[in-house]
Chains A and B, each alone.
Chain A
Amino acid sequence: MSRYDDTLELVIAKIRSTINEDWIALYDIDAETRFNDDLEIESIEFVKIAEAIQAHYGAQLDIVGWLSGRSIQELIGLSVGELAAYVAEATAGAA
């Protein structure tokens, strides 16, 4: 698997563990899945997911810097793949 695929898998795992409801365990999440239209997550859940990813990578990642200045609605409009692509790129040098 590529570095992006590993990251995507990690992001999906963080989404499942953060939402932590029965349906999300069974939901088929891939890079195209959208936080807003498909998962219908709440803004506070996006914050939790971002923070869980940040906690996983620690100092390698500055997710807050990347999100900075964007509205929460804009962030919830992202796809899972867009978030994973950022994380993979930001942590590329540290592998």
Chain B
Amino acid sequence: MNRKNIIVIGNGMVGYKFCERLFNKDTKKQFKIITFCEERRPAYDRVRLSAYFEGKTAEDLSMASIDWYKERNIDLYLEDKIISIDRVNKTVTSSKGKTLSFDKIVMATGSSPFVPPVPGIDKAGVFVYRTIDDLEDIIAYAKKCKTCVVIGGGLLGLEAAKAAQELGLKTDVVEFASRLMPRQVDDAGGEMLKRLIEAQGMTVNLNKNTKNIVGDVSVTGMKFADDSVINTEMIIISAGIRPRDELAKACGVTVGSRGGVLVNSSLKTSDDNIYAIGECVVYGDMIYGLVAPGFIMADAVVEQLTGNSAATFTGADMSTKLKLMGTDVASFGDIEPQDIPCKDIVLNNPHTGVYKKLLISEDGNRLLGGVLVGDAAEYGTLLQIYQNKMQLPADPMSLILPRNDDAESGIGIGDLPNTAHICSCENVTKGDVLDAIENQNCDSISAIKSYTKAGTGCGGCVPMLTDLYQYKMAQDGIEVSKALCEHFALSREEMYQVVRATGINTFADLIAQHGKGTGCEICKPTAASIFASVFNEHILSHAPLQDSNDAFLANIQQDGTYSVIPGIPGGEITPDMLMVIAQVGKDFDLYTKITGGQRIDLLGARLDQLPAIWNILINAGFKSGHAYGKSLRTVKSCVGSTWCRYGVQDSTSLAIELEIRYRGLRSPHKIKGAVSGCTRECAEAQCKDFGVIATEKGWNLYVCGNGGIKPRHADLLASDIDKDTLIKYIDIFLMYYIKTADRLQRTANWMMKLPGGLDHLKAVVIDDSLAINTELEAQMQHVVDTYECEWTSTLNDPEKLKRFKHFINSDDQDETVQFTRDREQIRPLQHSEKGLRDV
């Protein structure tokens, strides 16, 4: 098929966005996209240009890499621009002499900084603020300067001033108008902004009309119409933009009386085959110098090219919210009274540096516009009310009053219509976001962002997006998220309380009285874990409930064999016991490895070998290490004061005592502990569920650390406590965790979601704020007193041993389990290494 050539002239943010959108929409591949970029870098984020001074690189700011264009078969010409268009023969010619034919042209030539034509403006040391190259020139020149004047107190000018200040220059801002940001804020708002900016060490000069630039070859100062002078070594001009319409003019395309490529609502220029979008455009006497309207224009042209001829651009909202030097500035709608009668509501607090103004209709029903300086937290809500012409609350002042957490503002995100725009950069509505959550399985902010693209432009809508997500979750999430599974509406915590309160100790009773159906892989192991925590019966008395590992008291491996880990409390072991393990490893030809918890793992045991292996280990004096359980694993230790010349307490003895105390304790997830004999922390106690570090005076107790999926440094729960207090605190801490955590929730994650966090936990454990500690301690003591080695009792029970066979009707072994050898030990054969017989 012959594809149509679309030539995109200009590769700025809007030109890039056009390429991206057209490529995505053009599923029939009708178009060949060709784009010209006069800069040496493809499109980058000009809005965040000042981030370049904060250490961001050109790469960080890039919208897409050169490879991005290649992968999409988009021809990108860098450092080349179109200098002429032959509209009759439909060809373009570039400055490097390239001539291409076109079907359609999209002009996205952008704008250039307006440079006031004053004498001396061409002296060395005068810069504009537009491109990364400009910034590099500024940075280089600033090295020999101490002072700088920025001409222009608008949005970009203040950005440039901030950049200059960050380069260490004493900075003056000069503005022709009587206030800063004259387009975005009113007089009082501008005054507040001036104070906030001057508080940061800049000088703001208003009503200044530059007469000429002073200096010989280089700038030394500026002279104004009022004959005042400012001495400066450097000038950055940011006094507005001028649309780049020179190419349009040259090829006879109509331009506006004050410049800009004239377009109709289809974004077509006077030539039907030439569109124009972005800052180069004049539409309805307006030049849209913001990125969001540019994106909307790009979208409209893409829609038309791909078949939706009704897509138009009829103007765009110029509302903005930005952060300037740490100060929020936002405005929307009218910032000052226009033709229709209106009232304003003003909150002006010089003390806190906050100015807020709302313009409302005479009858008080509609919001017409507003200005926010110093705090723009309500911007999202206000903009929605304004754009959707929503009914104002009885007292609109409530919308801008400082909020305390409990108070409702009167209009929440739930009140917005589904058509409300949440993200204007990407044109995403509230309905789109709800659809993403409901129908597209987006279950996090990042999932919503990647699906809808909302929040990926300027990022200003992310707080609103978060609100919307939380609102939606709160609205319909609670009951589904709390329920364990389809069989129980109870959460784990509630199931635990039911079991504690009723004494129900069979799954049949539990599901009959509190659930429905027959259960599943979620509720069955959860119930089994709770029964074990509460009653501490042998876990194989509930065999049908047990998950993979607990079902056979061993860790199932990828090939269906198991690992055997005898308990080695505190990591202390005699040579004789080591020899027992060694002999078992040798006799059964198991792979042996030292674990991270200071014990020894024996892997590759078949189901039918487990009883024989454990028989030898138990007879030699080992007990189960519970490495297969959601239970205490190990309490790691260093050698402590017994051997180490730095140790201040006997950490090994304490670790052994703690491991023996809590071994077999079933919990929502595995629990790991450690004891270090001094602050050198060789046992790594601060990444454990409970960690103890010896001090000169006693022990420090740390809780809720984790080294796994998401490492978390443990929190200090108590300092310099004696051993009895320490054990009491750990008893209470663990039992409280077992009582309240969700299934498969480690202590670290539990802590992060615990209402009140560490302070709450301290209050419970240390001050008994819930008055449950006697109970918790008694519950723990029951578990400690009823401990039995699961493997010892299993070996004594022929009924339980029956399960440890691969086939119940044959003594054959599972012939699909096959090993090979690496480094003199066995390892499972991978599928690619064997011919597995299909069933």
A binds B: no
- What is the interface of chain A, defined by CB distance below 8 A to chain B? none
